[in-house]
């Protein structure tokens, strides 16, 4: 590879909306055969909104929202921001928690008005009605989280995240380039499969309910199978996996941690540009052979 041709590749990348860390990155880009896509913020917009509130009969929706909102207000997770905003809108001022703890990949827990409160996917036994509401929301691709007080489930909140308009096209393009896509998420399997179905990823290509620290292991496992793995993420819970992949692609709309951990940045957060990057690297490196 001549330095000039690589520089041309890098310059063309900038025009396409790809920031390339260095010309040498194009070589690993060319060899990629597997693309792991983080769900939230990569395949979906990551801009979530509170949809529904289910509580046991006779229970007060506003009170459940107040408790959940109080804790979520202290978290930066997109689910948390959606719940805090929705709670404020529907229940007004939120109490200030006496204690707050973020539990990555699971949710938040803390003390509000003298009670232990959790919001997220903590192991709770759900009353029949709530379990059904949760399963129905998940089958439609919405994320459902449980609000519990002192270990007793009080309600289920659902949040929706829109799939990016460009995601399905991007996955078609990646497949046309001979790459195998995988959808990776900490979210529930039913939610992940519903999103996958909408963008043309099969159930066998869904890796769900993965804790943040396990995302690295997923990448390593695929590498151990002899694959050259690209990982696309927004840096929320996936920066380590981005750094471990043979090629890390950061959503330009994501966190600084993502951009730092990655080899390429997709400036506009458009997944189709991941396919452009691979096409560009193949073309650049063929021309100079
Ligand atoms: P992803 O892999 O899609 O980026 P995360 O690993 O951040 O998702 O979260 C996985 C799951 O943990 C979420 O789908 C949700 O059920 C739960 N969760 C995480 N953070 C929160 C939170 N702040 N509030 C409620 N639930 C949460
Ligand atoms: Mg994420």
Q: For 42-54, what is each residue's pLDDT tens digit? A: 999 989 999 999 9
pLDDT in tens, 49-69: 999 999 988 889 999 999 999
Distance from C-alpha of 254 to C-alpha of 246, rounded to nearest angstrom: 20
Asked if residue 6 belongs to a domain, the reply is no
Measuring from atom 26 of ligand 1, which residue has the nearest CA?
120
Looking at the fold, whether 60 and 153 belong to one and the same domain comes out as yes
pLDDT greater than 80 at residue 220: yes
Looking at the fold, whether 28 and 78 belong to one and the same domain comes out as no
- The DSSP code for 42 is I
Asked if residue 60 belongs to a domain, the reply is yes
Looking at the fold, whether 169 and 282 belong to one and the same domain comes out as yes
Looking at the fold, whether 234 and 266 belong to one and the same domain comes out as yes
Asked if residue 278 belongs to a domain, the reply is yes
For residue 192, the ligand closest to its alpha carbon is 1
**Range 133-146 average pLDDT:** 96
CATH number at residue 75: 3.40.1110.10
Total domain count, the chain:
2
Atom of ligand 1 nearest to the CA of 106: 12
Distance set, CA 126 to CA 29, 123, 150 (Å): 46, 9, 14
Measuring from atom 19 of ligand 1, which residue has the nearest CA?
107
**Measured from the CB, is residue 71 less than 6 Å from ligand 1?**
no
pLDDT value at residue 89: 97
pLDDT greater than 80 at residue 100: yes
Distance from C-alpha of 72 to C-alpha of 79, rounded to nearest angstrom: 8
Are 147 and 153 a contacting pair, CB within 8 Å? yes
Measuring from atom 14 of ligand 1, which residue has the nearest CA?
187
Asked if residue 5 belongs to a domain, the reply is no
Atom of ligand 1 nearest to the CA of 143: 14
Atom of ligand 1 nearest to the CA of 209: 10
Could you tell me the distance, in angstroms and rounded to a whole number, from the CA of residue 151 to the centre of ligand 2? Answer: 27
Last residue of a domain, one of 146, 161, 176: 161
Could you tell me the distance, in angstroms and rounded to a whole number, from the CA of residue 59 to the centre of ligand 2? Answer: 33
Last residue of a domain, one of 161, 189, 214: 161
Atom of ligand 1 nearest to the CA of 72: 23
pLDDT greater than 50 at residue 289: no
| CA nearest neighbour of 206 among 217, 223, 219, 192 | 192
Buried b (16+ CB within 10 A) or exposed e, 192-226: bbbbbeebbbeeebbbbebebeebbebbeebeeee
Looking at the fold, whether 257 and 178 belong to one and the same domain comes out as yes
**Measured from the CB, is residue 212 less than 6 Å from ligand 1?**
yes
pLDDT greater than 70 at residue 8: no
Could you tell me the distance, in angstroms and rounded to a whole number, from the CA of residue 128 to the centre of ligand 2? Answer: 30
- Candidates 48, 153, 187, 216: which one to mutate for ligand 1, based on the most atoms within 8 Å of Cβ? 187
CATH number at residue 282: 3.40.50.1000
For residue 238, the ligand closest to its alpha carbon is 2
**Measured from the CB, is residue 79 less than 6 Å from ligand 1?**
yes
**Range 90-119 average pLDDT:** 96
Structure tokens at 38: 């983080």
**Measured from the CB, is residue 42 less than 6 Å from ligand 1?**
no
> Using CB atoms within 10 A of its CB, is residue 288 exposed (0-12), middle (13-18) or buried (19+)?
middle
Distance set, CA 224 to CA 6, 202, 228, 288 (Å): 29, 22, 9, 31
Asked if residue 226 belongs to a domain, the reply is yes
Q: Which domain holds residue 52?
A: 46-161
Looking at the fold, whether 19 and 54 belong to one and the same domain comes out as no
Last residue of a domain, one of 104, 126, 161: 161
Q: Which of 24-38, 77-91, 217-231 has the lowest mean pLDDT?
A: 24-38
Distance from C-alpha of 274 to C-alpha of 262, rounded to nearest angstrom: 13
Which helix (DSSP H) or strand (DSSP E) does residue 148 occupy?
Answer: strand 143-149
Are 254 and 234 a contacting pair, CB within 8 Å? yes
**Measured from the CB, is residue 215 less than 6 Å from ligand 1?**
no
Catalytic residues: 38
Give 69's Cβ-side CA count (13 Å radius).
22
| CA nearest neighbour of 221 among 236, 235, 207 | 207
């Amino acid at each position: 590879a001549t330095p000039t041709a690589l520089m041309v590749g890098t310059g063309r990348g900038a025009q396409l909306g790809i920031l390339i860390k260095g010309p040498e990155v194009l070589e690993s880009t060319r060899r990629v055969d597997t693309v792991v896509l983080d769900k939230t913020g990569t395949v979906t917009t990551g801009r979530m909104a509170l949809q529904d509130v289910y509580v046991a009969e006779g229970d007060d929706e506003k009170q459940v929202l107040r408790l959940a909102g109080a804790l979520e207000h202290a978290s930066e997770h997109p689910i948390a921001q959606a719940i805090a905003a929705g709670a404020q809108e529907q229940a007004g001022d939120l109490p200030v928690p006496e204690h707050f703890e973020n539990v990555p990949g699971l949710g938040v827990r803390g003390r509000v008005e003298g009670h232990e409160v959790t919001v997220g996917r903590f192991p709770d036994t759900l009353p029949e009605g709530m379990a059904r509401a949760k399963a129905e929301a998940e089958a439609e691709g919405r994320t459902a989280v449980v609000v519990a007080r002192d270990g007793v489930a009080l309600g289920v909140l659902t949040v929706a995240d829109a799939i990016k308009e460009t995601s399905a096209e991007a996955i078609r393009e990646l497949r046309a380039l001979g790459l195998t896509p995988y959808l990776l998420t900490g979210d529930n399997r039913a939610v992940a499969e519903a999103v996958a179905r909408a963008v043309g990823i099969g159930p066998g290509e869904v890796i769900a309910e993965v804790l943040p620290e396990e995302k690295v292991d997923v990448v390593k496992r695929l590498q151990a199978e002899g694959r050259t793995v690209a990982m696309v993420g927004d840096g929320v819970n996936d920066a380590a996996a981005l750094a471990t992949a043979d090629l890390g692609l950061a959503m330009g709309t994501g966190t600084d941690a993502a951009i730092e951990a990655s080899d390429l940045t997709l400036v506009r957060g458009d997944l189709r540009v991941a396919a452009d990057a691979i096409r560009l690297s193949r073309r650049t490196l063929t021309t100079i052979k």
